[in-house]
Amino acid sequence: MAGSAEDVKVRGMHAAIERDGVRDYVAVEEPLEIRVDGRPLAVTMRTPGDDERLAAGFLHGEGLIDRWPPIGPSGDLAANVVEVAGPLLRDPGARSFYTTSSCGVCGKGAIDQVAVDAPPLPLDADLPPLPRALLATLPERLVQPEFARTGGLHATGLFDRDGGPRCVREDVGRHNAFDKVVGWALERGELPLRDALLCVSGRLSFELVQKAVLAGAPVLVGVGAPTSLAVALARDRGLTLCGFARGGRVNVYSGEERVA
């Protein structure tokens, strides 16, 4: 399949690669720069699509906004740039970012920082417990057409309490897919997600639990395993965290009082 860049034809979220009469499809990956009031704040590698929601979800997940901001293309119409109008809730230069498993910060410090931005998730005694079998089937309800085509994308889904899909987004980055869903809900004025279920297609990292807590979602389900810090944060903030959801089974690591 080796060839020149001219052999790669981008078509939305995927690209067709052709060589010697053979065609394959791969996920598109391009940088997105997020600017606030004209100043670069962050760059993420993402799959194009829902860029404004991705940017808003990212800013919300970092505790920098709590409502849908004025957002759109940059004034100079630069490609792969989203412009957000401030003010932010705080100076991002003073924000401590705990976003990678190799950043060297201690778990206690990371959890304490999330506690500053998000209170513990309430347990609604008026709502019936969620059937464990329902939580186990959420990954099967993630519609992932681009993953089926390329095999190279993660997905995040937002579901109602009956397991009905409300929003599913795909991206080459698992955090980006999550941010796109949160941004979708933020634009619709539906945060916090008190009655929603979130499901991700991969492992459950600290960052995804952090984003779920800040979005006010009481339940997060993953196909893969959680990390130790993800479990610690979920227990500290009262999130129901479920992993290894596959084959009709699911492990519950925290918040079991919400599960029948």
Rounded CA separation 84/132 (Å)? 40
Q: Which of 103, 167, 199, 242 is catalytic?
A: 103
CA atoms within 13 A on the CB side of 148: 4
- Pair of tokens at residue 27: 């996920």
242 noted as active-site residue: no
205 within 8 A of 154, measured Cβ to Cβ = no
Binding site residue list: 244-249
Q: Which residues belong to the active site?
A: 103
